[in-house]
Amino acid sequence: MKKFVALLIALVMMMACASALAEKVGVSMPTQDLQRWVQDGENMQKELEENGYEVILTYAANNVAQQIADLENMITNGCDVLVIASIDGSSLGEVLAKAKENNIMVVAYDRLLMDTPDVDFYATFDNYKVGVIQASYIVEKFDLENTDKTFRMEVFAGSPDDNNARFFYAGAMDILQKYIDEGKLVVPSGQTDFETCAILGWGTPDAQTRMDNLLTAFYSDGSFPDLVLSPNDSLAMGIANAVEAAGCPLESFPVITGQDCDKANMKNILAGKQSMSVFKDTRTLAAQVVEMVNEYLLGEEVTVNDTSTYNNNVKDVPSFLCDPVFADINNYEELLIESGYYTPEDLQ
Ligand code: BGC
């Protein structure tokens, strides 16, 4: 009898393991155009598969209808969990409601899912802190606390349909506004509000066009701004392209900020065409999400470290915020090469 019970327990345990192995996770990424999302997708897939999950990974070519179709397919294909980096955070309400009806766990990945009750958790980097890091760099670089000089600045902001963009902007402007008020930073275009400075879709060509227009309209004497606040690398690339195309010599290149440490931008940093970036190690974020998924599926309490910052207009979404890190020419080797994120050849 004892033997039989032991056998039965072993059998039940094996079945439980098998079903855990069979859990399916859908990972919906916004686009393959930007290096960071490709890396996010690959890291998520690797981490999840190493943890025994089956993975459906899709990229939606920055097309909202495509992302909805991808998610519909994941639901039809029996996914137990959806991990979503949205294109437009407010556009997925219906498909998320369907996910909830099917008892699917929904994790907002990097970008918050807005205007819906049907998101369980949010995993991201501290987006406000990203802006703080960028602005603090500017403050130090120009010694704004102690100087009595005036520096000319232009401001760029991210895509208005991405909730993160307002956090990046707020983190930076909460610091820089004081120096604008004191007259240490002047903005020749006068364009500092989020809506005017925003680039819908985060596209490099659109940032380049706006920078071209600013240079033509407000720097027609052939001069250049001393600094340009850019929330991320795709915009920083467009800004640098415009400055270069307008004939700016390297030694007078504006200080341009960024975020993501994309390879092309790290090359620009090495070439003196961008000053800094913010490193958000996608391996850390992927590992965190996998931990959340594991905990949830095992019925354990899911680890979060923020329950009040990210309200999606329906509820405060329990969040885990990873730490973003400052990167520039002086620390990139340790941060990116020695940590195995890039090979030295990647940046040549
Ligand atoms: C991400 C940034 C990225 C931007 C453009 C934001 O939501 O947090 O890392 O640069 O989207 O893709």
Mutate to test the pocket of ligand 1, among 33, 34, 36 (most ligand atoms within 8 A of CB): 36
| 268/315 same-domain check | no
Which spans in 22-126 are helix H? 35-50, 64-76, 93-101
Q: How far apart are CA 326 and CA 332, in angstroms?
A: 9
Residue 203: CATH number of its domain:
3.40.50.2300
User: How does 208-217 read in b/e, with b if 16+ C-beta sit within 10 Å?
Assistant: bebbbebbee
The SS3 of residue 331 is coil
Mutate to test the pocket of ligand 1, among 32, 167, 260 (most ligand atoms within 8 A of CB): 260
User: Contact, 153 vs 228, CB < 8 A?
Assistant: yes
CA 112 from chain centre, in angstroms, equals: 10
Q: Residue 16's pLDDT is what?
A: 47
Centre of ligand 1 to C-alpha 12, Å, is 44
84 has pLDDT over 60: yes
Name the packing angle between helices 233-245 and 204-218 (round to 10°): 40
Q: Residue 270's pLDDT is what?
A: 98
Mean pLDDT across the chain, nearest whole number?
94
Centre of ligand 1 to C-alpha 232, Å, is 7
CA-to-CA separations, 311 to 116, 176, 219, 318, in angstroms, rounded: 10, 25, 40, 9
The answer to whether the pTM exceeds 0.75 is yes
The pair of three-digit structure tokens given for residue 49, joined into one six-digit string: 């598969």
Bridge partners of 303, per DSSP, are: none
| 239/270 same-domain check | yes
| 85/48 same-domain check | yes
Bridge partners of 105, per DSSP, are: 81
Residue given tokens 């983190």 in the structure block: 171
Confidence band for 2, pLDDT divided at 50, 70 and 90: low
110 has pLDDT over 60: yes
Domain range spanning residue 76? 2-119+281-322
| 102/165 same-domain check | no
Q: How far apart are CA 139 and CA 229, in angstroms?
A: 12
Mutate to test the pocket of ligand 1, among 40, 87, 114, 162 (most ligand atoms within 8 A of CB): 162
Check residue 64 and report its DSSP letter: H
Q: Residue 3's pLDDT is what?
A: 59
User: Contact, 160 vs 222, CB < 8 A?
Assistant: no
pLDDT tens, residue by residue, 113-149 = 999 999 999 999 999 999 999 999 999 999 999 999 9
| 49/28 same-domain check | yes
Averaged pLDDT for residues 239-249: 98
> Of 255, 280, 305, at which residue does a domain stop?
280
3-state SS, 217-234, equals: HHCCCCCCCCEEECCCHH
User: How many domains are contained in the chain?
Assistant: 2
| 227/289 same-domain check | no
In a domain, 331, yes or no: no
Residues in the chain: 348
Confidence band for 176, pLDDT divided at 50, 70 and 90: very high
Q: How far apart are CA 76 and CA 95, in angstroms?
A: 11
| 75/149 same-domain check | no
pLDDT tens, residue by residue, 27-37 = 999 999 999 99
Q: How far apart are CA 230 and CA 239, in angstroms?
A: 8
Angle at 155 between CA 149 and CA 156, to 5 degrees: 155
Q: Residue 17's pLDDT is what?
A: 45
pLDDT tens, residue by residue, 11-57 = 444 444 444 445 999 999 999 999 999 999 999 999 999 999 999 99
User: Contact, 41 vs 27, CB < 8 A?
Assistant: yes
User: Contact, 286 vs 44, CB < 8 A?
Assistant: yes
